[in-house]
Every structure is written in structure tokens, then in C-alpha cells.
């Protein structure tokens, strides 16, 4: 597929003003199936933990197979909007379906229960404050992204939640040539993960991001051990890479730190050999995140200072939680998330600190982007945790009534939250990235990667005779 053809398709993406709720996505899918009964096949693939149906849309009859699924992290709904558009476009355009040569399996929302707990910010206003107040991200052992079975050294995970089981069945059924797990970041530049090197895609991805007026990510990678194939294009990793890093840097048994399993791409390799992609695109942007000029601190100094700040934030959160945990009597997804944060933070911060003290690569000056990412954006994380903590207390109070300790903890949490929000809002003149641009980047990268995957598999079939 020519790059200009990709841009032509992207030109038709609507100017979305908000994210669709789970019910709106489900209703839209039903309307699509009724409008295009000869084109659309709905595949019931499972139910969520709370009983919500999870469906895949099957479109097209090409020899190559693509599996795209949104919201493996339920606070990341950009992919659902991309699939909302792409499912309609495919259904309407027979010539496009045939030219692409794919059978498409599309899941607009793989975690409906988690998505519902984020819907408070889906309609705006789009601000760091509103996002944090209504944010929810499950602990690793409940995330679809990281709950696929794995046996590695002392790590043994074989308890995938219902949502992951649904996706496991679809992977085995579809056996995709191209597989796209749809994610996004909250505050960064655009960056990508692929499992294997693919040099023909690198400049195309860069041009795609540039075409939407968005920056490539120039801040710190998500994890210290990331391998960067090209600017803002990283190697995706199994959970085994995290295990080995923690084993080397903590002296602990990583299985005591890692609570989930591995990712979907590794599981898929039991059945097929897909080309895999993740595209991380941000809700919010600040020019500093793309500034590659040198700052006044080394990367080591910046990261160590950030670690110290995070330790203080975790200590605050632990103090608030410890003050009320004996009174938390109702089951709560927010409690599960907070418990895991407190459990894992100490070891993960220690691992990074140990790495920083010995790796010569962090001797160099940090860029402005790296410093901003670590010392400014790192402060947003506490807001996300406090948002979940306040919702945890609200649910408990609604169920059993208030108490002096819960009232005190809630008031302290709100004061810390509001003070930090005020500081960040005063400090950051940030931009909200239009949903349309984010959908275009995710869809454009899907089309480019799908074309690459189809060529790759055609070549492999020719070689096999």
C-alpha cells in the first residue's frame, strides 16, 4: 500500500469530540451488523467477569488474517474509536476490502468492566484533573494485556481472567498474520513497539506521525531495558525480559513481584507467527516532551531524583491506605489496584536505582525531554493513584457509612490531589490532542504494518515452496 493511499483513507476519519461508552460501542456494532448483514459476522467470544458480552467483528474474506483489539488497558480508549471507524469503513467499501487482501477480526472493547470504570472522563472535559479523578487501571493479574499463561524460571501464571480467555480463544481461531494490541499513553510523544525488526516501516511510521503534526516520543522509555530499533520504535518484550531485569537488579525472586503473566503476542506464537504492533499515542502534549537539547542534569541525576519523588508519593499513598484498610469491607477493583501498587513499587524502584548506579549510558546529559518526562510528568502518577483511592473511599462510605478515619483520609487525599493538580496546571501549558489525530496515527500504522505483514508472509510461503 502506498503511503499516499494511507493518507487518503485517514482523511475520512471524523472529528470525534468524545469517546464512546461500552454501551454505545455495543449498540454501534449491532447497528453495523444489521446494516451490512452480508458483510459483517458477529462472533461471540466470551463474557467479562461481570457478565458483559464480548464480541468480535469479522469482516472480509482475504487470505491474510488480522486481529485488532482495543482496551487491553481499559483507561486507553483511542483504539476503540479507531475500530469504530475502521469497522464501518471496511463494511462500506468492498473495493478497499478486496484490495487489502485480509480477513479482519476486530474487538472494540476487550475489557468492558474496566472500561466502564473510566467512563467518567470519556465525554470530557479533557484535562489532567478530570482524567485522574475518573481513572481506573486494574492490577497486572487482571489486565488483559498481561494475563496470558507463562512458565518461566520460577514464574508460573495460568489464571487468565475471563476477558483474556475470550481473546485466547479468538487468537487460536483466527491465527493472525498481523496482530495489533491497541494502547495509548496519557502524556508523551508517539512511540511504537514491534516484536521483530522491520526497517521498511521505520521511516513510514515517522512520516505518519509527522503528517498529523504530532511529535515522536523523546522522553524516557517505559522500562530501562528497552531496545530501540529506531527513534521511538522499540522491541516489544515477553514478561521474561522483566523477570530477568528484576532478578539481576533486586536479588529477589521476581515471581514475588510479578503478579500477572505474559502478553498476547507471545501466546499467539503457540499457533502462528504474526507480525505484531503497539502504537502508543498521547491524550496530552507539551513541547518539552520533544525537546532533544541537553538539560542541566545527567540522566542518572534526573532518574534518581524522580525515584526519590516517587518513593515519597508511594509513602503518602501507603499512609492513607493503612489508616483505613481495616474498615474496607466491600470488594473493590480500586482496592485491588492500590494494593498491587504498594506491593510492587518498592522492588521496582530499587531495581531501577540499582541499574542507574552502574549503567554508564546514564552518565550523559539528560535531554530536556527526558528531564521533563521524569521530573514533571512523573508527578502525574500520584494523581492517578489518589483518584482511585478517593473512589475506593466513596464506595465504602456509600455502603457502610463514614467514620473518623475514613473522613480524615479522604480529606487528606483530596487536599494532596487538589494541590498537585493546581501546581501542574499552573506549570504546564499543555495541549489536548484531538481524538481524530490519534485515530489517524493508530489506523495509519495498522495499514502500514498490515501491508508489511502480508508481504512478509507471502515471501515466507514462496520460500517454503
Among 174-188, 302-316, 450-464, the least confident range: 450-464
Average pLDDT value for residue range 207-218: 98
Measured CA to CA, the distance from residue 196 to residue 186 in angstroms comes to 26
pLDDT tens track for 433-445: 999 999 999 999 9
Predicted model pTM: 0.97
pLDDT band at 465 (very low <50, low <70, confident <90, very high): low
* pLDDT value for 461: 74
| 385, pLDDT greater than 80 | yes
* Packing angle, helices 78-92 and 435-464, rounded to 10: 60
Using DSSP's 3-state secondary structure scheme, residue 42 falls into strand
| Architecture in CATH of 3-286+432-464 | 3-Layer(aba) Sandwich (3.40)
Buried b (16+ CB within 10 A) or exposed e, 278-310: bbbbbbbbbebbbbeeebebbbbbbbbebbebb
* pLDDT value for 459: 82
* pLDDT value for 251: 85
Contact 78, 182 (CB under 8 A): yes
Tally Cβ neighbours within 10 Å of residue 353: 16
The single-letter DSSP state of residue 190 is B
pLDDT mean across residues, the chain: 97
Contact 214, 433 (CB under 8 A): yes
**Grid cell locating 136:** 481506573
* pLDDT value for 143: 98
Domain with CATH 3.40.630.10 in the chain: 3-286+432-464
Average pLDDT value for residue range 157-166: 98
Average pLDDT value for residue range 411-423: 98
Query: What percentage of the chain carries pLDDT values higher than 90?
Result: 97
| 102, pLDDT greater than 80 | yes
Measured CA to CA, the distance from residue 36 to residue 42 in angstroms comes to 11
Of 266, 84, 242, 89, the residue nearest 167 (C-alpha): 266
Amino acid at each position: 500500500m502506498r503511503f499516499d493511499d494511507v493518507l487518503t483513507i485517514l482523511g475520512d476519519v471524523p472529528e470525534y469530540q468524545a469517546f464512546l461508552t461500552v454501551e454505545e460501542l455495543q449498540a454501534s456494532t449491532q447497528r453495523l451488523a444489521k446494516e451490512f448483514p452480508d458483510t459483517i459476522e458477529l462472533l461471540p467470544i466470551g463474557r467479562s467477569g461481570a457478565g458483559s458480552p464480548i464480541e468480535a467483528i469479522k469482516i472480509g474474506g482475504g487470505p491474510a488474517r488480522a486481529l485488532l483489539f482495543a482496551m487491553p488497558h481499559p483507561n486507553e480508549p483511542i483504539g476503540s474509536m479507531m475500530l469504530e471507524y475502521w469497522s464501518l469503513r471496511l463494511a462500506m467499501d468492498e473495493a478497499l476490502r478486496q484490495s487489502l487482501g485480509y480477513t479482519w477480526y476486530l474487538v472494540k472493547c476487550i475489557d468492558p468492566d474496566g472500561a466502564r470504570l473510566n467512563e467518567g472522563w470519556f465525554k470530557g472535559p479533557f484535562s489532567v484533573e478530570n482524567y485522574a479523578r475518573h481513572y481506573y487501571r486494574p492490577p497486572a493479574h487482571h489486565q488483559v494485556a498481561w494475563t496470558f499463561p507463562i512458565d518461566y524460571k520460577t514464574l508460573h501464571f495460568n489464571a487468565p481472567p475471563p476477558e483474556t480467555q475470550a481473546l485466547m480463544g479468538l487468537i487460536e481461531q483466527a491465527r493472525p498474520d498481523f496482530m495489533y494490541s491497541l494502547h495509548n499513553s496519557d502524556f508523551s510523544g508517539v512511540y511504537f513497539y514491534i516484536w521483530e525488526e522491520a526497517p521498511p516501516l521505520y521511516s513510514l511510521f515517522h512520516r505518519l506521525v509527522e503528517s498529523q503534526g504530532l511529535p515522536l516520543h523523546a522522553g524516557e522509555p517505559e522500562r530501562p531495558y528497552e531496545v530501540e530499533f529506531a527513534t521511538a520504535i522499540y522491541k516489544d518484550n515477553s514478561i521474561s525480559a522483566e523477570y530477568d531485569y528484576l532478578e539481576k537488579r533486586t536479588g529477589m525472586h521476581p515471581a514475588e513481584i510479578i503478579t500477572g503473566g505474559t502478553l498476547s503476542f507471545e501466546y499467539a506464537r503457540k499457533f502462528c507467527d504474526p507480525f505484531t504492533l503497539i502504537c502508543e499515542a498521547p491524550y496530552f502534549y507539551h513541547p518539552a516532551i520533544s525537546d532533544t537539547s541537553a538539560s542541566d542534569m545527567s540522566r542518572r541525576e534526573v532518574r534518581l531524583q524522580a525515584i526519590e519523588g516517587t518513593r515519597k508519593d508511594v509513602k503518602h499513598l501507603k499512609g492513607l491506605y493503612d489508616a483505613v484498610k481495616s474498615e474496607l469491607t466491600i470488594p473493590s477493583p480500586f482496592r485491588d489496584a492500590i494494593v498491587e501498587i504498594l506491593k510492587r513499587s518498592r522492588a521496582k524502584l530499587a531495581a531501577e536505582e540499582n541499574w542507574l548506579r552502574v549503567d554508564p549510558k546514564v552518565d550523559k546529559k539528560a535531554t530536556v525531554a527526558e528531564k521533563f518526562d521524569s521530573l514533571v510528568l512523573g508527578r502525574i502518577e500520584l494523581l492517578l493513584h489518589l483518584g482511585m483511592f478517593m473512589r475506593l473511599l466513596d464506595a465504602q462510605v456509600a455502603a457502610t457509612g463514614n467514620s473518623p478515619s475514613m473522613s480524615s483520609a479522604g480529606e487528606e487525599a483530596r487536599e494532596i490531589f487538589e494541590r498537585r493538580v493546581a501546581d501542574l496546571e499552573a506549570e504546564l501549558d499543555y495541549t489536548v490532542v484531538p481524538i481524530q489525530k490519534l485515530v489517524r496515527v493508530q489506523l495509519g500504522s495498522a495499514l502500514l504494518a498490515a501491508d508489511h505483514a502480508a508481504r512478509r508472509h507471502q515471501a515466507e510461503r514462496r520460500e517454503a515452496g
